[in-house]
Amino acid sequence: MDTYDLAISINPTTPIINDVMEVGQVVAGTIAVANTGLVNAGVYLTADWGPSTGTTDRESTLLANALAVSVFISGATPTQSYIGNLIGLIDQPVIASLITGNSEVVAISVAIPDDRSGPTLLGKAVNTDFVFVAVSVA
């Protein structure tokens, strides 16, 4: 049985989005994902979110359902990998094949659409970690 070294790294490892948002506003950040292993990798993305201080679990669920998220892979021609709400960003394939030694820039934008505003979400916040998982590909 053969053994392969599968590894990715991300940069930065610090928050890419840390904003108080208004309705209609879009905030964005980028994360470079590098294949530091010895085998080509497919990369999946999940938003692991939860309530911030002063926000209940129910309120954070409402907010995660309201936040519109888009994920693009930067390049000469940016490729859309995901568009939907934060609550649905679970195990989404974002990079089909990342060759050993190469990297891709993942651009993530978040917005509160005009039609999703209301007093229920005023002053509420979620903490989110963007979790990247690699799988080996041929």
Q: What is the pLDDT of residue 20?
A: 83
Q: What is the pLDDT of residue 118?
A: 67
Q: What is the pLDDT of residue 3?
A: 76
CA distance linking residue 111 with residue 66, whole number of Å: 9
Could you tell me the CA-to-CA distances from 47 to 87, 96, 133 in Å, in that order? 8, 18, 11
Is 80 within 8 Å of 93 (Cβ atoms)?
Answer: no
CA atoms within 13 A on the CB side of 121: 21
Domains of the chain listed by start with CATH number: 8-136 (2.60.120)
How remote is the C-alpha of 14 from its chain's centroid? 13
User: Is 56 exposed, middle or buried (CB count within 10 Å of its CB: 0-12, 13-18, 19+)?
Assistant: exposed
> Could you list the pLDDT tens digit for every one of the 138 residues in the chain?
677 899 999 999 898 988 888 888 899 999 999 999 999 999 999 999 999 999 999 999 999 999 999 999 987 788 999 999 999 999 999 999 999 999 999 999 999 888 766 677 778 889 999 999 999 997
CA distance linking residue 3 with residue 106, whole number of Å: 28
Q: What is the side-by-side strand order in the sheet with 41-51? A: 92-98, 41-51, 126-136
